[in-house]
A and B are shown apart, each in its own frame.
Chain A
Amino acid sequence: MDLSSINPILLVASIMVSATPILLAAIGEMVVEKSGVLNLGVEGMMITGAVIGFVVAINTGAPLLGFAIAAVAGAVVSLSFGVLTQVFLSNQVATGLGLTLVGLGLSSLVGKPYEGMKAETLPKLDIPVLSDLPAVGQMFFSHDIMVYLSLLLVVAVWAFLKYTRAGLILRAVGESHDSAHALGYKVIRVRMMAIMFGGACAGLGGAYLSLVRVPQWTEGMTAGAGWIALAIVVFASWRAGRVLIGAYLFGGITVLQLNLQAAGMTWGVQYLSMSPYLITILVLVLISSNRAKGSHNAPASLGQTFHATR
């Protein structure tokens, strides 16, 4: 084993790139769950974003436009979930799973002609002064714009939920939709907006996969990233800052174990690969074992159907 062949600067840089898709999807899903809706269709929305972003970037040559349209596409797909669960009161778990299947099928249909093509990718930013810093510059300040946007989004979501009135309403809807309704808040409208925000974020995450991280379109290319995003939300116990930690931990461990293997380490790699999932289970156990502490973590109305006449 030759650990000196691992370059920590490049390692950190590649962890940031690797974690960005799941960070984007997870922060969106956290907002959705904060509003009391469990959308298991993250995988479907991500892959829709991946294919639409790729198609737009190929046809226009503008990857940023690809990201924008991917966000719209993710939001539109999630709207179907919103209408079904909020207006027609369908079961959220089943509808979310259905959304995943629809997304996977639809994306392979749309993406068929684009297989094997190469799209324009996002340029790495060259930030004056910061990018030129030794080591730190290469680690943190020479990524593409979406990496910084994802970090900005985490801060924005945190501030929105903590300091704004709208954020308070969203949390109220997620904790007790009946009380929120009695106070005159539009529960369904709030949840619809949250669902669309979640869809847009998942779409961005998917587009990051197909436009920056891989960068190409391959059928089924999200390969479970959406489910990891769902696990991260639980891991983070519905807090924005912890979502960031969770995403970097999940992404980081994948990259780290591959780097350790490439450096010649063969023992314990499997354990490292499974550790994020074990930690997620552990967190779940801790949350449910400590009711007093756990009760203010998971939104109380999570996954429950709301009907105004009840």
Chain B
Amino acid sequence: MIRRTLLASAAAAATLVAAPAMAQDPTEACFVYVGPIGDGGWTFQHHQGALAVKEEYGDAVNIRWQESVPEGADAERVITQMAISGCDIIFTTSFGYMDATNAVAAKFPDVKFEHATGYKREHPNVSSYNGRFYEGRAVVGHIAGKMTQTNKIGYIASFPIPEVVMGINSYFLHAQKANPDVELVVTWVYTWFDPAKEADAARAMIDQGVDVITAHTDSTAPLAEAAKEDGAVIGFGQASDMAAFGPTPRVASIIDDWSPYYIKRVGAVIDGTWEQVDSWAGMPEGEVVIGEMTDVIPEDVRAEAQGMIDAITAGEYHPFTGPINKQDGTPWLAEGQVAEDGELLSMGFYIEGITGDIPN
């Protein structure tokens, strides 16, 4: 054993002179993005995670990426191309890549695949990962409930999927706890990224007296629209910090920080310790972060929000803790009962107090 290692090192030393690059091939970490890096939100944050990987491991890692890959047949082609061209680990960063990722993974058992926000892990070389964004929604919901003057708060929703419904419920639940009179207005735009439509949705709500707006879409347009009201309307950065819109209308933000997870997983590939996981991490792991709360928020509200962040981070508080009723008044969680992950991941109902229906 020792002799074999010695021989190997001797061989390595010999080739070191001739071709230094051969001594240690860098690990190739590849990323598939659904939008442009410049969206200032979702994809931008994934790319920040990719850059953090490079920063962490330096020459030991090469990162590669492809932007604006449509969710469909094209995705499979792009992922296959990456696997053929020597990627060791491939991160596919949108829900719609789920089947394509699993299909390609079957053909390349030596390549590691990581799919964001999905649930299918059909092969041992596929992991899935997601963020507990509802933890962030709880904090900004509290701020919204405290800050609204008109008692009408708005939510620009993308698609009626559990991820979004979960966010709406968490946001409203905590706004209502902070202010029992608060009313939630939900507007569905059926897109992840269309700045003009997102702005129109914000405008429609502002015209109807909404003065706090949060968005579940990818661009900064809702904040730009809120900015036209000279401080009368506030909002929150979504997915990314969007600090350019502070101190108002952007009074805080929910940041998706993928860096800890990406560094950990690429590190595992380098060490050879990579194993399939189903990761759903949030504030305790540093993957969901609340961006700076500006002075526009009164000091006591900031302190309360910080208290909630600390409690969630310490694992002492779960945003979905009973008693909580469903919209029709039937009990969902009993006093002190905490929602199970499976229930959250398939959430298809509003909680009590939200008006309107979830579209099909």
Do A and B bind?
yes
Contact A218 B359 (CB under 8 A): no
Contact A254 B221 (CB under 8 A): no
Contact B195 A223 (CB under 8 A): yes
Within the complex, the shortest CB–CB distance from B281 to chain A, in Å, comes to 27
Q: Which of B68, B154, B196, B242 contacts A262 (CB 8 A)?
A: B154
Q: A116-B40, A221-B195 are in contact. Are A258 and B219 (CB under 8 A)?
A: no
Within the complex, the shortest CB–CB distance from A227 to chain B, in Å, comes to 12
- Residue B188 is within 8 A (CB to CB) of chain A in the complex: yes
Contact A258 B201 (CB under 8 A): yes
Q: Which of B206-214, B263-271, B287-295 lines the interface with chain A?
A: B206-214
Enumerate chain A residues within 8 angstroms of B197, measured Cβ to Cβ.
223, 254, 258
Enumerate chain B residues within 8 angstroms of A14, measured Cβ to Cβ.
200, 203-204, 207
Contact B221 A216 (CB under 8 A): yes
Within the complex, the shortest CB–CB distance from B299 to chain A, in Å, comes to 27
Q: Which of A5-13, A128-136, A156-164, A176-184 lines the interface with chain B?
A: A5-13
Contact B357 A266 (CB under 8 A): yes
- Residue A186 is within 8 A (CB to CB) of chain B in the complex: no
- Residue A18 is within 8 A (CB to CB) of chain B in the complex: yes
Q: Give the size of the chain B interface in residues (CB under 8 angstroms).
A: 41
Enumerate chain A residues within 8 angstroms of B208, measured Cβ to Cβ.
5-7, 259, 262-263
A268: nearest residue on chain B (CB-CB)?
Answer: B359
Alpha-carbon separation in the docked complex, A126 to B6 (Å): 85
Enumerate chain A residues within 8 angstroms of B40, measured Cβ to Cβ.
115-116, 218
Q: Which of B36, B207, B221, B359 contacts A219 (CB 8 A)?
A: B36
- Among residues 129 to 161 in chain A, which have CB atoms less than 8 Å away from a CB atom of chain B? none
Alpha-carbon separation in the docked complex, A112 to B209 (Å): 35
- Residue B190 is within 8 A (CB to CB) of chain A in the complex: yes
Enumerate chain B residues within 8 angstroms of A225, measured Cβ to Cβ.
196
Q: Which of A72-80, A207-215, A241-249, A277-285 lines the interface with chain B?
A: A207-215
- Among residues 165 to 191 in chain B, which have CB atoms less than 8 Å away from a CB atom of chain A? 185-191
Contact A264 B189 (CB under 8 A): no
Q: A7-B207, A118-B244, A259-B204 are in contact. Are A214 and B199 (CB under 8 A)?
A: yes
**1/0 contact string of B21-48 vs chain A (CB within 8 Å):** 0000000000000011011100000000
Contact B200 A255 (CB under 8 A): yes
**1/0 contact string of A219-254 vs chain B (CB within 8 Å):** 111111100000000000000000000000000001
Q: A221-B195, A255-B200, A261-B186 are in contact. Are A116 and B220 (CB under 8 A)?
A: yes
Alpha-carbon separation in the docked complex, A18 to B185 (Å): 21
Q: Which of B200, B220, B242, B355 contacts A258 (CB 8 A)?
A: B200
Enumerate chain B residues within 8 angstroms of A220, measured Cβ to Cβ.
35-36, 39, 68, 193
Within the complex, the shortest CB–CB distance from B200 to chain A, in Å, comes to 6
Q: Which of A118, A215, A262 contacts B205 (CB 8 A)?
A: A262
- Residue B224 is within 8 A (CB to CB) of chain A in the complex: yes
Contact A218 B220 (CB under 8 A): yes
Q: Which of B39, B185, B196, B201 contacts A214 (CB 8 A)?
A: B196
B356: nearest residue on chain A (CB-CB)?
Answer: A266
Alpha-carbon separation in the docked complex, A185 to B227 (Å): 52
Enumerate chain B residues within 8 angstroms of A92, measured Cβ to Cβ.
none
Contact B207 A11 (CB under 8 A): yes
- Residue A100 is within 8 A (CB to CB) of chain B in the complex: no
- Residue B328 is within 8 A (CB to CB) of chain A in the complex: no
Alpha-carbon separation in the docked complex, A213 to B227 (Å): 12
Within the complex, the shortest CB–CB distance from B51 to chain A, in Å, comes to 15
- Residue A21 is within 8 A (CB to CB) of chain B in the complex: yes
- Residue A269 is within 8 A (CB to CB) of chain B in the complex: yes
- Residue B194 is within 8 A (CB to CB) of chain A in the complex: yes
Enumerate chain A residues within 8 angstroms of B244, measured Cβ to Cβ.
116-118
- Residue A270 is within 8 A (CB to CB) of chain B in the complex: yes
B218: nearest residue on chain A (CB-CB)?
Answer: A218
Enumerate chain A residues within 8 angstroms of B356, measured Cβ to Cβ.
264, 266
**1/0 contact string of A1-42 vs chain B (CB within 8 Å):** 000011100110010001001000000000000000000000
Alpha-carbon separation in the docked complex, A258 to B39 (Å): 23
* Of B201, B204, B244, B356, most A-chain CB atoms within 10 Å: B204
- Residue A108 is within 8 A (CB to CB) of chain B in the complex: yes
- Residue A273 is within 8 A (CB to CB) of chain B in the complex: yes
Contact A215 B38 (CB under 8 A): no
Alpha-carbon separation in the docked complex, A267 to B359 (Å): 8
- Residue A303 is within 8 A (CB to CB) of chain B in the complex: no
Q: A108-B38, A261-B188 are in contact. Are A18 and B200 (CB under 8 A)?
A: yes
Contact B187 A223 (CB under 8 A): no
Q: A11-B207, A14-B204 are in contact. Are A219 and B38 (CB under 8 A)?
A: yes
Enumerate chain A residues within 8 angstroms of B194, measured Cβ to Cβ.
223-224
- Residue A167 is within 8 A (CB to CB) of chain B in the complex: no
Contact B207 A10 (CB under 8 A): yes
Contact B221 A262 (CB under 8 A): no
Measured CB to CB, the residues of B under 8 A from A are: 35-36, 38-40, 68, 154, 185-191, 193-197, 199-201, 203-205, 207-210, 219-221, 224-225, 227, 242, 244, 355-357, 359
Could you show 5 A-B contacts with beta carbons less than 8 Å apart? A219-B36, A221-B219, A225-B196, A255-B204, A262-B185
Beyond A116-B40, A255-B203, 10 additional pairs, beta carbon < 8 A: A6-B208, A10-B207, A108-B38, A116-B242, A215-B224, A216-B195, A216-B220, A219-B38, A225-B196, A270-B190
Q: Which 9 A-B pairs have the closest CB atoms?
A: A219-B38, A258-B204, A223-B194, A219-B36, A10-B207, A116-B244, A259-B204, A221-B195, A261-B187
